A and B are shown apart, each in its own frame.
Chain A
Amino acid sequence: MRVIVASTIAPFIEGGSTFIVDWLEQTLREFGHDVDVLKIPFYSYYPEMPAQMLALRLMDVAAHGDRLIAIRTPAYLLRHPNKVLWFIHHHRGAYDLWGTPYQDLPDAPVGRAYRRAIVSADHLAFSEARHIYTNSAVVSKRLKDFNDVDSEVLYPPVLKPQRFHARSYGDYILYVSRIVHHKRQSLAVEAMRYTRTPVKLVVAGKADDPGLESQLRQTVQQHGLQDKVTLDFRWISEEQKVEYLADCLAAIYIPFDEDSYGYPSLEAHHARKAVISATDSGGTSELIRDGNNGFLADPDPRAIAECMDRLYLDPKLARDMGENGLERIRELGITWERVMEKLLA
């Protein structure tokens, strides 16, 4: 099939929304499809949005390809007779974050007008789609609540999951992710003050803001955690990640209120490792069942420390939970085969 994958990008910024596009492209090619990817720059600053939305609407690719798969908002404004959405999030400031401190439109007539423009453009595009898939139950629920649109959850897999493997169940818990405030690496480090076993923590990743790195270093210093915590602040290559995961005891992923389960959780499960997450982490609860393939701990350093100790003291538990993680992925059908089947149906 000839497939156009369309998404918007914030130039030079990588993250979940660029990975899903790149990985989908690669996998479509592996499955023998002809793919063209359109990454249209989009600046999500509200006064600039309507003009860019119109630009997307004016671009005509309708004569090309058997299918258009639109990913990041509002790439789905592109017109195409065979449009499918793999919807990963709204412009949240106009939806679920409206009325919270994260609302990025002014709560004034002008802000409300921009909000209406965003919502009505979304409505139009949703009505044109053959089918709407989302990356999580949370996002599907928002589509239902805010747009009264039905959608189907199609969990995004990671690229080449067979790369990940378990070599041993070592003595460290791994937190591999971009170092960002809301990923709460600080909470993981804090937890190490309360562990009672020799369990260790490795925090790996690059910070967008160097201030965060020094903050974490300071916490380690202040509480004398140098022997228990390794801070590996650099961009972690895929190979390094595979290695780290192969030998960890378990993984930890405790963001604050994310939409999806997050690739780090999925990668850990592919490496047959349990995942410690938090009850307020959001989408991770769609993947992790407390006590089965990991823990959903209270977002409190002591509670998290307790989970770490339990895994350290009971390596069989760590191993079993890791195996359950892989099983859980199967149960949810998080495979590229399924993604291909659905998006191209």
Chain B
Amino acid sequence: MKIAILTNCVPFVRGGAEHLAESLRDKLNEYGHEAMITRIPLAWHPPERIVEHILAARLLRLHNVDRMIGLKFPAFYVRHDNKIHWLLHQFRQVYDLWGTKYQDIPDTPEGRRIREVVVNADNQYLPEARRIYTISRNSAERLKKFNNLDAEVLYHPLGKSDHFRCDSYGDYLFCPSRVTDGKRQALLTESMKYVRSGVRLVLAGQPETPADRERVEAIMRENRLEKRVQWIPRFISEDEKVGLFAGALGCAYIPYDEDTYGYVTLESYHSRKPVITCRDSGDTLVLVRDGQTGLVAEPTPAAIAGAMDNLYECRGQAERMGQAGYDLMMTLGINWETVVKRLTA
């Protein structure tokens, strides 16, 4: 089948969506389809541009394409009579972000009109698809709440997974992620004050700002945690990451209220390592089930430390939970075979 994957683009900006689109294209090709990515520009300053780009998407014509897969606003509006969405998210500024500091559209009569245009476009054009899948529960819930549209969650797998491995269950918990407020590396570091066992923490990732870096380093300094916390404040290569997962006791990943379970969680389970997360971490809880595939702690340093000690003191448990995490991932259909089958059905 000739498949066009439609996503938006801000020139020169790359992120998770681009990565997802490329993984999807490569997998579709692997499964014998011919897939290409079509990127439709999006600009939102001044806000009237939003409306113009909706119109642009509607005016385009996809010829010689058997199936269109829509990922993002406003590219998913492109007309096609055999369309399936795998929605990353809608234009959140007019939905859950409206009324927050991320709204980005002025709360004026003009701004509200633009909001209305986007909501109407979603209401009218999204149902043109044969089916709507979303990559997260939150996205599906928002569609229901704001547009009264039904969607099914179709979880996103890792782009590449067969290089992850498990060598041993060592003495450290591994947390690879961008270092930023929302990922709460500071809280993790702070927890290390309270551990009673010999468990260590390995924190790796590029700090988003100097302040993010300083926050973690200050906690380490003040509490003399240098021996307990290995701090790698930079991008790590794929090989380094795989190696650190392979020797870890488990993974600690405690972001605040995330939309998706995150690639970190998947990588950990592909390495057969359990995950410690927090009750308020959002969709990590889809995969991390307390006592089964990892440990779910209250978001306090003492509680997190308790979970870490718990895992350290009972290694057999770590191994069992890591395997259970992998099995759960497969049961939930978090693999490309499922994704390709659904999106080409």
Q: Which residues of A contact B (CB under 8 A)?
A: 2, 4, 10-13, 34, 36, 38-43, 45, 48, 51-52, 54-56, 58-61, 63-65
Contact = CB atoms under 8 A, between A and B. Distances in A.
B305 interface: no
Nearest to B60: A55
A48 B319 CA distance: 60
19 contacts: A4-B11, A10-B63, A11-B63, A12-B65, A13-B64, A38-B9, A40-B40, A41-B63, A43-B61, A51-B59, A52-B59, A54-B59, A55-B55, A55-B57, A59-B56, A60-B49, A60-B53, A61-B43, A64-B10
Interface of B: 2, 4, 9-12, 34, 36, 38-41, 43, 45, 49, 52-53, 55-65
Contacts of A54: 56, 59
B38 A41 contact: yes
Given A38-B9, A41-B38, A58 B60 contact: no
**A contact patch SS:** mixed
A290 B11 CA distance: 46
B121 to A, nearest CB: 14
Contacts, number: 82
Nearest to A39: B38
Contacts of B45: 63
Nearest to A59: B41
B43 A63 contact: yes
A36 B41 CA distance: 11
A54 B58 CA distance: 11
Contact of A38 (B2, B41, B58): B41
A59 B12 contact: no
Given A51-B61, A60-B43, 5 more contacts: A11-B36, A11-B65, A13-B64, A38-B9, A64-B11
A142 B10 CA distance: 35
A60 B44 CA distance: 9
Contact of A11 (B4, B9, B40, B55): B4
Contacts of B49: 60
Contacts of B62: 11, 41, 43
A65 B60 contact: no
B61 A52 contact: yes
Contacts of A40: 38, 40, 60
Nearest to A49: B61
A52 B12 contact: no
A10 B63 CA distance: 7
B63 A58 contact: no
Nearest to B49: A60
A137 to B, nearest CB: 32
Contacts of A59: 40-41, 53, 56
Given A34-B12, A38-B9, A59-B53, A12 B34 contact: yes
B59 A55 contact: yes
A226 B81 CA distance: 48
B63 A43 contact: yes
**Among the interface residues A2, A39, A56, A61, which one has the most CB atoms of the partner chain B within 10 A?**
A61
Contacts of A63: 43, 45
A68 to B, nearest CB: 9
Contacts of B2: 11-12
Contacts of A45: 63
Contacts of B56: 54-56, 58-59
A65 B11 contact: yes
Contacts of A64: 10-12
Nearest to A12: B2
A105 to B, nearest CB: 17
**Among the interface residues A39, A56, A58, which one has the most CB atoms of the partner chain B within 10 A?**
A58
Nearest to B61: A43
Given A59-B41, A61-B43, A11 B64 contact: yes
A38 B60 contact: no
A56 to B, nearest CB: 8
A61 B59 CA distance: 17
Nearest to B63: A43
**Among the interface residues A10, A12, A34, which one has the most CB atoms of the partner chain B within 10 A?**
A12
A65 B12 contact: yes
B41 A60 contact: yes
Nearest to A64: B11
Contacts of B40: 40, 59
Contacts of B61: 41-43, 48, 51-52
B46 to A, nearest CB: 10
**Among the interface residues A2, A36, A40, A59, which one has the most CB atoms of the partner chain B within 10 A?**
A59
Nearest to B41: A59
B205 to A, nearest CB: 24
A58 B55 CA distance: 8
A36 B65 contact: no
**Among the interface residues B2, B11, B40, B62, which one has the most CB atoms of the partner chain A within 10 A?**
B11
B21 to A, nearest CB: 13
A229 B54 CA distance: 55
Nearest to B59: A55
B5 to A, nearest CB: 11
A59 B12 CA distance: 15
A58 B52 CA distance: 6
**Among the interface residues B45, B60, B62, which one has the most CB atoms of the partner chain A within 10 A?**
B60
A54 B61 CA distance: 12
B89 to A, nearest CB: 21
